[in-house]
Amino acid sequence: MTHTTTVLVIGGGGTGVGTARDLAARGVDVTLVERGGLASGTSGRSHGLLHSGARYAESDPEGAVECIEENQTLREIAGHCINDTGGLFVQLDEDDPDYFEEKLEACHEHGIDAEVIDGDEARERVPDLSDSVERAMVVPDAAIYPSRLAAANAESAAEHGATILTHAPVEDIGVTNGEIATVEVGGTVNETIQPEYVVNTTGPWADKLGAMAGVDFEMKPTKGVMFSVPYEGLDPVLNRCREPSDGDIIIPHENEAVLGTTSVEVDDPDDFPEEQWEIDRMYEECAAMLPPVEDREAVRTWWGCRPLYAPDEADRGDSGEGDERSISRDFVLLDHAQDGVENFASVVGGKLTTYRMMAEATADHVAELLGVDGESITADEQLPGADDPTELDRLVAKYSEPQPTDAGVVTDRTGTATADD
C-alpha cells in the first residue's frame, strides 16, 4: 500500500509531534511515524523537569533565555501537562559560594526570577532538607509530564489534519536523483510513504536514520539513569547549586520523587549497560540534599539517552578528553541538501523544555522551502485537553501508554493501574 504526504516527520518525541503540529496548523499535509508509542524514546525517559533556565544562566545565556521564555509559554498552553512546583537551587556547606553568586547574577541578567532565602527558610519549605544547606535560590522550575505533552501535541496535529502513525518503524529509505522518493514503514502500518519532504526527529537515533538515506553525521548519545522513590509532600524541584554533575536534581512527581542523573557516553542508544554504580551514585549524591531518599526503595528505574550532536573535532574544538557534559545540548537543524539529499533535514540536540521553539524553527524552515505562507500559532493555541487531566490521560492511551518519567502520575487508561490509582 502506498501513502503520499507533503511532509513526513519521523520520530514521535516532543520535537517530532511539535513539528507535526506546527506544520499541520499552517495547512501542510503532514504524516508522522514513530517506531513505538509517542514519547517512548528520549522524551518519556527523561527526569521530567521544565527548566526555568537557571541551570544554564551563567554558562549558556542564550539557552537560559530560551528556557525561561518557553517555560512561560508552556504554562499558558499546556495546562495539566505541567505541575507548577517551583524550584530551589541549594548551596551546601561544601559548595562554592562564588558559583551561587554568579548564577544568581546571571539569572537576574537574563530575566529569570530568582530570590535568595537562607537555610532555615529553605528547610521550612522542605522540612527534610539537609542541615548542610546554607542558602537557596528560588526559581520558577516545574515538573513536566512528557506522555501527556506528546499526546496533546499529536491530537492537536490530528485536529489540524495530520496523520499520526505509531508502532511504525522505518525499515528502508529510497533515494532517487538526490531526493528521498520512498520510505518503507513496517510494524502495524506496513506502507510505502512517498513524501515531498522528510524531517528526522529521532533524537539519539538521528544519525542511524540519516545513514539510511546516505547522509553521514555524528551523534554522541549519553545515557543517564533516573529512578523514582516514594515521597509525599515534596513541593519544589531541588537542584544542587554547583557545576553540573551526577545526582544533582530531584523532581517531585506527586507522590514520588525522581532522582537523576548520570551522563555517560554510549555507542548505541538501543544497547548499553545499565550499571548498578549509577544507581548507587544517585542515592549518595541526592541524599546530600534530601537525606531520607537514601533509604527508600526505587519504584521505577529507567535509563534515557540524550540526543547530543557532536560535529567534527576541528569544528567544535573538542579536547578529546571525553567530557560528555561539554558536548553541545543546543538545538541544531541540519539541512541535508548540503549532503546531496535535497528534501531531507534532521533536528538534533535540544531539551524537552524548548521542544515547541525547536519545532517552530523547523516548521519555519520547511514551510519556506515548500513556499507555504503563514506563521506559527503554537505559542498561542492551547493544547487539547490541557484543562482536564482525565482527557489528557485518555489521549495518552490513544497514542501510547504512560512512559517511565510520568507513570506514577498519568492514569493508564489502557487497563493497567499506575501508582496513584
Domains recognised in the chain with CATH numbers? 2-44+146-219+316-406 (3.50.50.60), 49-144+222-306 (3.30.9.10)
Mean pLDDT of 86-114: 98
Whether 17 shows a pLDDT value over 50: the answer reads yes
Average of per-residue pLDDT values in the chain: 93
Mean pLDDT of 118-130: 98
Mean pLDDT of 104-122: 98
Q: What is the pLDDT of residues 44-83, one digit of tens each?
A: 999 999 999 999 999 999 999 999 999 999 999 999 999 9
Report the share of the chain in percent with pLDDT over 90: 91
Whether 233 shows a pLDDT value over 50: the answer reads yes
Cβ-based neighbour number of residue 320 at 10 Å: 6
Query: What integer pLDDT is reported at residue 1 of this predicted model?
Result: 87
Q: What is the pLDDT of residues 357-390, one digit of tens each?
A: 999 999 999 999 999 999 999 999 999 999 999 9
Whether 286 shows a pLDDT value over 90: the answer reads yes
pTM for the predicted model, two decimal places? 0.94
Q: What is the pLDDT of residues 169-196, one digit of tens each?
A: 999 999 999 999 999 999 999 999 999 9
Question: Per-residue confidence at 415, pLDDT binned at 50, 70, 90?
Answer: low
Q: Cα separation of 361 and 202, whole Å? A: 17
Query: What integer pLDDT is reported at residue 412 of this predicted model?
Result: 72
The strand pairing partners of 239, in sequence order, are: 89, 249
Q: What is the pLDDT of residues 327-341, one digit of tens each?
A: 345 789 999 999 999
Whether 229 shows a pLDDT value over 90: the answer reads yes
